[in-house]
Structure 1
Amino acid sequence: MTGLDLSTAEQALDAQPFSRLLKARITAFGDRGATLEVDIRTELLQQNGFLHGGVLSYAADNALTFAAGAVLGPAVLTSGFSIQYVRPAQGATLIARAEVVHGGRRQAVVRCDLVTDDGSGTETLCAVAQGTVLTAG
């Protein structure tokens, strides 16, 4: 365990200008996982009215990295990740839940499920991602 907590993770997220632009928030952190949320707003949609895939990729990337940070410590960088879009994302909130599948001393393999909440608590899976996160240094 890294000794990091949700408050520290919130500060790290707030230090990212792009995350502030998207108004992302981290709602869970620790115990080999992290959850990131983004409210779905008109300016984040693509031409067909669905949440833009770039927003989904951002949420996966950040959630993967924060989850790995819960195991490896704060100095981590995403080495790479893949994302599979299952269905168009629409609803009130995007939720990215990431969990470390395997953690070593210098790298972690992390899985992330991306769901949308319709505003009433009903969640729909819209994408799945997996990535590798390395310690920086």
Structure 2
Amino acid sequence: MTVLTLEDARKGLAAQPFSVLLGARVTSFGDGVATLELDIREDLLQQNGYLHGGVLAYAADNAITFAAGTTLGPAILTSGFSIDYLRPAKGIRLVAEAQVLYSGRRQATCRCDLRVVGEDGTTTLSAAAQGSVMTRNGATS
């Protein structure tokens, strides 16, 4: 299997037009863990002024997949995930921290905590997700 670096992860994210549109960044990557961050902007809010749930789901999906990539390699796809919205997300930055719970030869299961950083620097857990990632097209990395 090819060992991926933080720079590889950043290049992979930069190749995703939707991630570029959202301004997402990979801030940590390796050893079964990945962190994705994005600044909360007005155009990402829903009608009540909270970060849209779709943005939280995007961040969970990508963070889970990047974490799995640390164990499975780059030829992977999300096979499914669930998310629980715990509190409205309001702040200046979203931090999605994912970790591998189990990794086999072709599939990994990961958990992701989604926290919002407030203007005063405090963090609030806003959502939690769990998902599975599998190797693509029968690739074994």
Q: Give TM-score scaled by structure 2 length.
A: 0.95
Match of 1:91 in 2: 91
RMSD: 0.9
Match of 2:60 in 1: 60
The size of the alignment, in residue pairs, is 137
Residue 5 (structure 1) aligned with residue 11 (structure 2): no
- The whole-number CA distance in structure 2 between the counterparts of 1:102 and 1:60 is 17
Identity fraction in percent = 64
- The whole-number CA distance in structure 1 between the counterparts of 2:78 and 2:17 is 18
The one-letter code sitting in structure 1 at the alignment partner of 2:62 is N
Residue 27 (structure 1) aligned with residue 27 (structure 2): yes
Residues 61-112 of structure 1: per-residue CA shift (max 9 Å, x gap): 0000000000000011000000000000000100000000000000000000
The one-letter code sitting in structure 1 at the alignment partner of 2:93 is T
- The whole-number CA distance in structure 1 between the counterparts of 2:67 and 2:45 is 26
Structure 2 unaligned spans of 5+: none
Conserved 8 A contact 1:101-1:110: yes
- The whole-number CA distance in structure 1 between the counterparts of 2:119 and 2:78 is 31
Match of 1:124 in 2: 124
Match of 2:16 in 1: 16
Structure 1 runs of 4+ with >2 Å offset: none
The one-letter code sitting in structure 2 at the alignment partner of 1:50 is Y
Structure 1 unaligned spans of 5+: none
Match of 1:72 in 2: 72
Match of 2:133 in 1: 133
